[in-house]
Amino acid sequence: MATKSEKTREAILNTSYALFAEKGFKQVTMKDVCEATNMSRGGLYSHFSSTSLLFEALLQKITEKDALGFQERIEKKDSATAILEDTLNRMEDEMKHPEASLSLAMYEYAETVDSDLMERLNKDSEKKWKNLIRYGIDRGEFRDVNVSGIVNVILFSYQGVRMWSRIIPMKPETFRSIVDHVKNQLIGGWK
């Protein structure tokens, strides 16, 4: 069971997610977080002493949860096609919600605080996707594609959409067409 302190930490992370998605990284202050969480300065600082540490914990939480799901399913010998479809469906859902995109915040954080973390997260995503695709190829479920090519296309078209959908209106068909392109590459039949 989560302790009270863990629950508070979770609540801070959830609330600050919305702040970072809305304002980016640079414009969020610890005062904003205090106000949004209804916490005293002392209470908040006992969990996180800066917006950098808070943002890092948030990204860590999101990406760990994500990577764990992938790896567990591969270890359980789940179908590669099912993992791919679930993941692409989730990406498509995320693309439909630009207001929840952390892209600008990640960009500003990397620009003002530290780019190593973004580099590491990017490498982790790359590794995660490469593992899945090789797993699907090994099981004979996926076509024998160029793994790096498709992984870069997945990662960067997703990032491109997440960033630009914040400022220009995009249609659901755009997201769908990207997701279908990836499916078609790997399992065919979605032309």
What is the contact surface with a second copy in residues (CB under 8 A)?
104, 107, 110-111, 115, 118-119, 122, 145-146, 148-150, 152-153, 155-161, 163-164, 166-169, 173-174, 177-178, 180-181, 184, 191
Spell out the residues 6+ positions from residue 133 whose beta carbon is closer than 8 angstroms to its own: 142, 145, 147, 150, 151, 186
CA-CA distances (angstroms) from residue 175 to 17, 92, 98?
23, 6, 12
3 state DSSP class of 166 = coil
As measured in angstroms, the least distance from the Cβ of 146 to a second copy is 5
Q: Using the minimum distance from each CB to a second copy, give the nearer residue, 12 or 106.
A: 106
Nearest distance from C-beta of residue 104 to a second copy, angstroms:
7
Query: Residue 7: helix, strand or coil by DSSP?
Result: helix
DSSP state letter for 168:
S
CB of 97 to a second copy, least distance (A): 16
Q: Which is nearer to a second copy, 10 or 93 (CB)?
A: 93
CB of 65 to a second copy, least distance (A): 22
